[in-house]
Amino acid sequence: MRRDDFPLLQQQMNDHPLAYLDNAATTQKPQQVLDALHTYYTRYNANVHRGVYALAAEATDRYEASRAKVAKFLNAPSAQQILFTKGTTEAINLVAMGMILPFLRVGDEIVVTGAEHHSNLIPWQRIAKLGGATLKFIPLKADGTLDLDAARKLIHHRTRAIAVAQISNVLGTEHPIQELAAIAKEKNAVLVVDAAQSVPHGPVDVQQLGCDFLAFSGHKAYGPTGIGVLYGKPELLEKMEPLQYGGEMIDKVELHTATYKEAPWKFEAGTPPIAEAIALGEAVDYLQDIGMEAIHAHTKALTEYAYEQLQAVDGLTIYGPPPAQRGGLIAFNLGNVHAHDIATVLDSRGIAVRAGHHCCQPLMRWLGVSSTVRASFGLYNTRAEIDRLAAALREAKEVFGV
Amino acid sequence: MNLSDLYRQVILDHAQHPRNFGALPDGLKVELHNPTCGDEITLFLTLKDGVVEKVSFQGSGCSISMSSASMLTDAIQGRPVEEVLHLNREFRKLLQGQEAEGELLGDLEALSGVTAFPARIKCAVLAWNALEQGVRSQKGEGDADE
């Protein structure tokens, strides 16, 4: 799918054509996104929201136009519900510290799942400790899917926040966001969705999901690093406190007091990553031009194919549910060979995968392993690359005598 | 990039059948782990009159970290601490692609293939970092290298 748009993919790695299968970590960038960064710096680099000259007006217009593009992309009712952040991690920290912690009382509870990325666990650990709250975990069923019955019992009137990934970055599991949103609404808890692994690979509609907050990272969605998005409901954004104070987020300043702008600008103190925000808008255009349904279908077909091919490798263990219930990634181990050894063999054959704990140490313990190999797919990956992956894994079996 | 340069038979053998694997209840104990990959090593050491009397290790990790630890225990058992520190320096030179005393290194020379895989150097040095820490704590000095 439009592989030629990606300059980086045209190169060799260790004398083999690069097969980039680490898209859950970060994606490659199409020429259109690279051009957007370049054009900003060569044609209209100026600070946003302050200059009165034409250049500054153009930078501001394009920066705000990008916000509107992201709003439309997520089907958010208004562009003012889209905050630019550094990435998913910063977005979740902002909700935890700015929205939940100030209203937390001793004995309150925060609910996450046993499958969360450290970025959707550590901020909650931190504020639970600061606010005297207890962290509770929705357990996983044996196949790695979320135990919704247990969630119903776990979430009650003292639950202040429920934080959950839409798609697990290790198991690939799709979590039932709509059902959790219904529970959250009933119990008056704030539902925060980590959409880092879902937004880039299929249609995501915040209104349909019914979540209160949703975060994703630009660099995992074919955009630049250093830019991410937090969507929030207006009444919550009004209550949420900024974590960064300074220029650009203020309304009126006295020597001892100040009033702030309204959302989203009160959360964007200082000069934002302008080029990155604009280039993220370009990435969104690029994805919508292909179509999120088409990208989803491509990734789904590739994942099903990879699942079959990997299952056919003797001695290989796949973690998580069957392809029908998962996003575009597969974590596995080969015999008892360490994941890093497998990744090195694949590297020598030009195949880039992730090996390690994937920022999910508690989940690794639940799986009873110290690490796994993970292949994750993007819009430019092909069946031929999956075939190469399977062939290289058979080679690894030879090397390590599995 | 040649895989057999990295995964030499002697490395695979040490990784699959680690020598001196287990705890030394009376020994000095140094626990180290690699947060990026989850490799864990606990090195046990008893020093007597400036000599490594006994050494063993426990842990889990990739074949590079495990074989390096296994070879380390074979290489330093019964050796004076000064010689052990010299070996430590030579081994690190080897991993940096610098000239090192091959004869002194013995089996450890097999890990020279790691130089072509920079991301794996931290696996090869994990047990050696534990060794340095252990010796330093015994000597009560700032730097084991001096």
Query: Nearest CB to B60: which of A15, A355, A370?
Result: A370
- Among candidates A344, A357, A399 on the partner chain, residue whose Cβ is nearest the Cβ of B120: A344
Phi and psi for A295 in degrees, rounded to 5? -65, -45
Residue of A nearest to B122 (CA): A340
Which of A202-216, A301-315, B87-101 is least confident?
A: B87-101
What pLDDT, in 10s, does the model give residues A5-16?
A: 999 999 999 999
Q: Would you give per-residue pLDDT tens digits along chain B (146 residues)?
A: 678 888 899 999 999 999 999 999 988 999 999 887 778 999 999 999 999 999 999 999 999 999 999 999 999 999 999 999 999 999 999 999 898 887 888 889 999 989 888 888 999 999 999 999 999 888 754 444 44
Report the gap between the CA of B51 and the closest CA in chain A (Å).
34
At residue A370, the pLDDT reads 85
CA–CA distances in Å: residue B143 to residues A328, B85, B90, B139, B140: 49, 11, 16, 9, 9
Contact criterion met (CB < 8 Å) for A399 and B3: yes
Interface test with B, best of A122, A333, A341 (most B CBs within 10 A): A341
| Chain B residues touching A338 at Cβ < 8 A | 61-63
Q: What sign results for the dihedral spanned by CA atoms A125, A127, A131, A134?
A: negative
Contact A340 B62 (CB under 8 A): yes
- B68, two tokens: 């390096």
Average pLDDT rounded to a whole number, residues A239-245 = 97
pLDDT in tens, A327-340: 999 999 999 999 99
CA end-to-end span of chain A: 35
Q: What is the pLDDT of residues A49-83, one digit of tens each?
A: 988 899 999 999 999 999 999 999 999 999 999 99
Query: Residue written as tokens 């058992």?
Result: B77
Query: What is the strand order of the sheet B51-60 is part of?
Result: B28-33, B40-48, B51-60
Mark yes or no for CB contact A400/B120 under 8 Å: no
Nearest CA in chain A to B114: A344
Q: Which amino acid is at B100?
A: A
Residue, of A228 and B8, whose pLDDT is higher: A228
Confidence of residue A166 (pLDDT cuts 50, 70, 90): very high
Among chain A residues, CA nearest to B40: A370
For A345, which residue in chain B has the nearest alpha carbon? B3
Over residues A188-199, the mean pLDDT reads: 98
What single-letter amino acid sits at A94?
Answer: L
Name the β-bridge partners of A291.
Answer: none
Residues B40-45: contacts with CB within 8 Å, 24+ apart? B40/A370, B41/B65, B41/B69, B41/B126, B41/B127, B41/B130, B42/B130, B43/B69, B43/B72, B43/B127, B43/B130, B43/B131, B43/B134, B45/B131, B45/B134, B45/B135, B45/B138
Distance of CA A335 to the CA centre of its chain: 30
CB–CB contact A340 B120 (8 Å): yes
* B61 interfacial to chain A (CB closer than 8 Å): yes
What are the chain B neighbours of A347 within 8 Å (beta carbons)?
1, 117
| Residues in chain B closer than 8 A to A122 (CB atoms) | none
Distance from the Cα of A348 to chain B's closest Cα (Å) equals 6
C-alpha distances in angstroms, A222 versus A72, A286, A401, B71, B101?
17, 9, 38, 45, 48
Please answer yes or no on whether B38 and A371 come within 8 Å at the CB atom.
Answer: yes
Interface probe for A, chosen from B4, B5, B7, B67 (most Cβ of A below 10 Å), is B7
Q: Which residues of A touch B (CB under 8 A)?
A: 14-15, 337-341, 344-345, 347-348, 355-357, 361, 364, 370-371, 399-401
- The answer to whether B123 contacts A400, with C-beta atoms less than 8 Å apart, is no
Q: What is the pLDDT of residue A358?
A: 82
Tell if the CB–CB gap between B37 and A361 is shorter than 8 Å. no
pLDDT of residue B37: 73
Q: Which residues of B touch A374 (CB under 8 A)?
A: none
Residue B140, pLDDT score? 59
Q: Which of B2, B33, B63 to mutate to test the interface with A (most CBs of A within 10 A)?
A: B63
Residue from the list B3, B6, B37 with its beta carbon closest to the beta carbon of A371: B37
User: Of A324, A291, A270, A330, which is closest to residue A201 (Cα–Cα)?
Assistant: A291
Alpha helices by DSSP H, chain B: 3-6, 9-16, 63-76, 81-95, 102-105, 121-139
| B9 inside 8 A of chain A by CB | no
- All residues of chain A having their beta carbon less than 8 Å from the beta carbon of residue B38 are 356-357, 361, 364, 370-371
SS3 label, residue A49? coil
For B39, which residue in chain A has the nearest alpha carbon? A370
- How many other C-beta atoms lie within 10 A of the C-beta of residue A252? 9
pLDDT of A30 strictly over 90: yes
pLDDT of amino acid A68: 98
Query: In chain B, which residues have their Cβ closer than 8 Å to the Cβ of A344?
Result: 3, 6, 117, 119-120
Chain B contacts of A371, Cβ < 8 Å?
A: 37-38
Give the Cα-Cα-Cα angle A393, A398, B1 (nearest 5 degrees): 75
* pLDDT score for A256: 94
Tell me which residues of chain B, numbers 101 to 140, contact chain A at a CB-CB cutoff of 8 Å: 117, 119-120, 123
Please tell me the predicted confidence (pLDDT) of residue B146: 42
Judge whether B63 is closer than 8 Å to chain A, CB to CB: yes
Q: Give the nearest chain A residue to B33 (CA atoms).
A: A370
DSSP state of A100: I
Q: Which residues of A are catalytic?
A: 359
Task: Name which of A345, A347, A356 is nearest B38 (Cβ-Cβ).
Answer: A356
pLDDT at A402 over 90: no
Q: Are strands A213-217 and A190-194 parallel, antiparallel or unpaired?
A: parallel
Count of C-beta atoms within a 10 Å radius of residue A244: 14
Residue A381: predicted pLDDT: 98
- Percentage of chain A lying above the pLDDT 90 cut: 93
In chain A, % of residues over pLDDT 70: 100
List helix spans (H) across A323-382: 339-348, 361-367
Looking at residue B1, its pLDDT comes to: 61
Q: What is the pLDDT of residues A105-133, one digit of tens each?
A: 999 999 999 899 999 999 999 999 999 99
Structure tokens at A78: 């208004």
